Protein backbone atom coordinates (compact mmCIF):
# COMPACT_ATOMS: atom_id res chain seq x y z
CA UNK A 1 0.00 0.00 0.00
CA UNK A 2 1.19 3.50 -0.90
CA UNK A 3 -0.21 6.57 0.87
CA UNK A 4 -0.57 10.01 -0.69
CA UNK A 5 -1.39 12.97 1.56
CA UNK A 6 -2.02 16.62 0.76
CA UNK A 7 -3.27 19.49 2.90
CA UNK A 8 -5.62 21.18 0.44
CA UNK A 9 -8.31 20.04 -2.00
CA UNK A 10 -6.57 21.82 -4.88
CA UNK A 11 -3.45 19.74 -4.30
CA UNK A 12 -5.09 16.32 -4.63
CA UNK A 13 -8.77 16.16 -5.58
CA UNK A 14 -8.13 16.42 -9.32
CA UNK A 15 -6.26 13.12 -9.04
CA UNK A 16 -8.94 11.51 -6.88
CA UNK A 17 -11.76 12.61 -9.20
CA UNK A 18 -10.05 10.92 -12.15
CA UNK A 19 -9.71 7.59 -10.39
CA UNK A 20 -12.17 4.88 -9.51
CA UNK A 21 -12.04 5.08 -5.73
CA UNK A 22 -13.62 3.61 -2.61
CA UNK A 23 -14.36 6.18 0.06
CA UNK A 24 -13.40 5.03 3.55
CA UNK A 25 -14.20 6.89 6.77
CA UNK A 26 -12.03 6.13 9.80
CA UNK A 27 -12.12 8.19 13.00
CA UNK A 28 -14.21 10.79 11.13
CA UNK A 29 -11.42 11.20 8.56
CA UNK A 30 -11.99 10.59 4.85
CA UNK A 31 -9.67 8.39 2.78
CA UNK A 32 -9.88 7.26 -0.85
CA UNK A 33 -8.69 3.78 -1.82
CA UNK A 34 -7.72 3.16 -5.42
CA UNK A 35 -5.73 0.96 -7.76
CA UNK A 36 -3.02 2.83 -9.66
CA UNK A 37 -0.88 0.75 -12.03
CA UNK A 38 -2.29 -2.30 -10.24
CA UNK A 39 -0.94 -1.04 -6.91
CA UNK A 40 -3.02 -0.40 -3.81
CA UNK A 41 -3.01 3.32 -3.03
CA UNK A 42 -4.78 5.37 -0.37
CA UNK A 43 -5.14 9.12 -0.85
CA UNK A 44 -6.42 11.85 1.40
CA UNK A 45 -6.50 15.46 2.53
CA UNK A 46 -5.22 16.09 6.03
CA UNK A 47 -5.97 19.78 6.40
CA UNK A 48 -3.55 22.60 7.15
CA UNK A 49 -1.01 22.53 9.97
CA UNK A 50 1.15 20.13 11.94
CA UNK A 51 -1.50 18.64 14.24
CA UNK A 52 -3.91 17.90 11.39
CA UNK A 53 -1.07 16.40 9.36
CA UNK A 54 0.24 14.21 12.17
CA UNK A 55 -3.21 12.97 13.24
CA UNK A 56 -4.19 12.12 9.67
CA UNK A 57 -0.90 10.35 8.96
CA UNK A 58 -1.18 8.19 12.08
CA UNK A 59 -4.77 7.29 11.21
CA UNK A 60 -3.69 6.32 7.68
CA UNK A 61 -0.93 4.12 9.07
CA UNK A 62 -3.18 2.49 11.68
CA UNK A 63 -5.96 1.62 9.25
CA UNK A 64 -4.18 0.99 5.93
CA UNK A 65 -0.62 0.05 6.95
CA UNK A 66 1.11 1.72 3.97
CA UNK A 67 4.77 0.95 3.34
CA UNK A 68 5.42 4.39 1.82
CA UNK A 69 3.74 7.77 2.36
CA UNK A 70 4.28 10.68 -0.01
CA UNK A 71 3.20 14.18 0.92
CA UNK A 72 2.41 16.44 -2.04
CA UNK A 73 1.53 20.11 -2.10
CA UNK A 74 2.77 23.67 -2.45
CA UNK A 75 5.25 25.74 -0.47
CA UNK A 76 6.92 29.11 -0.22
CA UNK A 77 10.48 29.45 -1.46
CA UNK A 78 13.16 30.32 1.09
CA UNK A 79 16.00 30.18 -1.44
CA UNK A 80 16.67 32.82 -4.08
CA UNK A 81 17.36 30.14 -6.70
CA UNK A 82 14.01 28.40 -6.17
CA UNK A 83 11.31 30.14 -8.20
CA UNK A 84 7.52 29.97 -8.41
CA UNK A 85 6.60 26.85 -10.38
CA UNK A 86 9.81 25.00 -9.41
CA UNK A 87 9.79 21.70 -7.52
CA UNK A 88 11.49 20.82 -4.23
CA UNK A 89 12.02 17.13 -3.48
CA UNK A 90 12.55 16.85 0.26
CA UNK A 91 15.75 15.14 1.37
CA UNK A 92 15.69 16.43 4.97
CA UNK A 93 12.95 17.97 7.11
CA UNK A 94 13.03 20.35 10.09
CA UNK A 95 10.53 22.09 12.38
CA UNK A 96 11.48 25.75 12.09
CA UNK A 97 9.12 26.78 14.90
CA UNK A 98 10.07 24.25 17.59
CA UNK A 99 12.34 25.99 20.08
CA UNK A 100 13.65 24.53 23.36
CA UNK A 101 16.95 26.41 23.17
CA UNK A 102 16.16 28.23 26.43
CA UNK A 103 15.57 24.95 28.26
CA UNK A 104 19.03 23.45 27.88
CA UNK A 105 21.60 22.54 25.27
CA UNK A 106 19.10 22.07 22.47
CA UNK A 107 19.41 23.38 18.94
CA UNK A 108 16.55 25.09 17.16
CA UNK A 109 14.10 22.48 15.89
CA UNK A 110 15.34 19.76 18.27
CA UNK A 111 12.72 17.90 20.30
CA UNK A 112 13.67 16.59 23.76
CA UNK A 113 13.81 12.82 23.71
CA UNK A 114 14.14 12.60 19.93
CA UNK A 115 17.56 11.46 18.79
CA UNK A 116 17.72 13.45 15.56
CA UNK A 117 16.75 17.04 14.82
CA UNK A 118 16.16 16.25 11.15
CA UNK A 119 14.27 13.53 9.33
CA UNK A 120 15.87 12.08 6.19
CA UNK A 121 14.00 10.70 3.16
CA UNK A 122 14.82 7.35 1.60
CA UNK A 123 17.47 8.05 -1.05
CA UNK A 124 15.84 5.72 -3.58
CA UNK A 125 12.51 7.56 -3.32
CA UNK A 126 14.28 10.89 -3.82
CA UNK A 127 16.07 9.61 -6.92
CA UNK A 128 12.90 8.14 -8.43
CA UNK A 129 11.07 11.43 -7.90
CA UNK A 130 13.92 13.38 -9.48
CA UNK A 131 13.99 11.20 -12.59
CA UNK A 132 10.22 11.45 -13.04
CA UNK A 133 10.27 15.22 -12.49
CA UNK A 134 12.77 15.61 -15.34
CA UNK A 135 10.04 14.49 -17.73
CA UNK A 136 8.00 17.58 -16.80
CA UNK A 137 10.48 20.24 -15.70
CA UNK A 138 13.94 21.41 -16.71
CA UNK A 139 16.73 20.24 -14.43
CA UNK A 140 17.35 23.78 -13.17
CA UNK A 141 13.71 23.87 -12.01
CA UNK A 142 14.08 20.79 -9.78
CA UNK A 143 15.76 20.94 -6.39
CA UNK A 144 16.65 18.19 -3.93
CA UNK A 145 17.00 19.66 -0.47
CA UNK A 146 15.70 20.71 2.92
CA UNK A 147 12.07 21.52 3.69
CA UNK A 148 11.23 23.52 6.83
CA UNK A 149 7.83 23.11 8.49
CA UNK A 150 5.98 25.29 10.97
CA UNK A 151 2.49 26.43 11.93
CA UNK A 152 3.08 29.72 10.15
CA UNK A 153 2.11 30.96 6.69
CA UNK A 154 5.38 32.77 6.06
CA UNK A 155 4.76 36.15 4.45
CA UNK A 156 7.61 38.27 5.81
CA UNK A 157 11.08 38.49 4.32
CA UNK A 158 12.69 38.60 7.76
CA UNK A 159 10.99 35.32 8.75
CA UNK A 160 11.93 33.73 5.45
CA UNK A 161 15.56 34.85 5.82
CA UNK A 162 15.68 33.53 9.40
CA UNK A 163 14.46 30.09 8.30
CA UNK A 164 16.96 30.01 5.45
CA UNK A 165 19.82 31.03 7.73
CA UNK A 166 19.03 28.51 10.47
CA UNK A 167 18.12 25.50 8.35
CA UNK A 168 19.53 26.15 4.86
CA UNK A 169 16.08 25.27 3.56
CA UNK A 170 14.81 25.40 0.00
CA UNK A 171 11.21 26.05 1.01
CA UNK A 172 8.84 26.31 3.95
CA UNK A 173 5.31 25.05 4.53
CA UNK A 174 3.03 23.73 7.26
CA UNK A 175 2.79 19.91 7.15
CA UNK A 176 5.72 17.91 5.71
CA UNK A 177 7.88 17.50 8.81
CA UNK A 178 4.88 16.44 10.91
CA UNK A 179 3.96 13.80 8.31
CA UNK A 180 7.48 12.42 8.00
CA UNK A 181 7.93 12.56 11.80
CA UNK A 182 4.98 10.20 12.25
CA UNK A 183 6.26 7.99 9.43
CA UNK A 184 9.70 7.88 11.06
CA UNK A 185 8.23 6.74 14.38
CA UNK A 186 6.22 4.03 12.58
CA UNK A 187 9.08 2.82 10.35
CA UNK A 188 7.24 3.90 7.19
CA UNK A 189 9.28 5.24 4.27
CA UNK A 190 8.44 8.84 3.39
CA UNK A 191 8.93 11.63 0.89
CA UNK A 192 7.56 15.13 0.40
CA UNK A 193 7.22 16.90 -2.95
CA UNK A 194 6.53 20.62 -2.86
CA UNK A 195 5.92 22.88 -5.83
CA UNK A 196 6.53 26.56 -5.23
CA UNK A 197 3.49 28.83 -5.10
CA UNK A 198 5.06 31.96 -3.59
CA UNK A 199 8.30 33.50 -2.34
CA UNK A 200 7.36 33.56 1.38
CA UNK A 201 7.61 37.34 1.45
CA UNK A 202 5.20 40.26 1.71
CA UNK A 203 3.61 39.25 -1.63
CA UNK A 204 3.05 35.66 -0.50
CA UNK A 205 -0.69 35.90 0.11
CA UNK A 206 -1.40 37.28 -3.37
CA UNK A 207 1.07 34.93 -5.06
CA UNK A 208 -0.36 31.92 -3.22
CA UNK A 209 -3.88 32.61 -4.42
CA UNK A 210 -2.66 33.30 -7.96
CA UNK A 211 -0.31 30.34 -8.38
CA UNK A 212 -1.84 27.65 -6.12
CA UNK A 213 -3.56 25.73 -8.92
CA UNK A 214 -0.65 26.10 -11.35
CA UNK A 215 1.91 25.01 -8.76
CA UNK A 216 -0.23 22.06 -7.66
CA UNK A 217 -0.31 20.73 -11.21
CA UNK A 218 3.50 20.40 -11.17
CA UNK A 219 3.40 17.73 -8.47
CA UNK A 220 0.23 16.08 -9.75
CA UNK A 221 1.84 15.66 -13.17
CA UNK A 222 4.56 13.38 -11.78
CA UNK A 223 3.04 11.60 -8.78
CA UNK A 224 1.39 8.87 -10.86
CA UNK A 225 4.73 8.09 -12.54
CA UNK A 226 6.36 7.83 -9.12
CA UNK A 227 3.67 5.39 -7.95
CA UNK A 228 4.29 3.30 -11.06
CA UNK A 229 7.99 3.06 -10.25
CA UNK A 230 7.96 2.27 -6.51
Active-site residue list: 11, 198
- Classified as helix, coil or strand, 149 is strand
Cβ contact 103:198 at 8 Å: no
Cβ contact 89:191 at 8 Å: yes
Query: Which residue, 75, 74, 71, is CA-closest to 188?
Result: 71
| Neighbour count for residue 87 (Cβ, 10 Å) | 26
Cα torsion 180, 221, 59, 42 to 10°: value is -130
CA distance 219 to 136: 10
CA distance 20 to 1: 16
Amino acid sequence: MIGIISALNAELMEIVENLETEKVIYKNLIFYKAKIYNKDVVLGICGVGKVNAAMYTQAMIDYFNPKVIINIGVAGSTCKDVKIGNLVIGTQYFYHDFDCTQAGSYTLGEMPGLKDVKFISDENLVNIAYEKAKKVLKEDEIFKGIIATGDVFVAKKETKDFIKEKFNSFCCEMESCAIVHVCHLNNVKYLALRSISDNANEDADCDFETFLIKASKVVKSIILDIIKEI
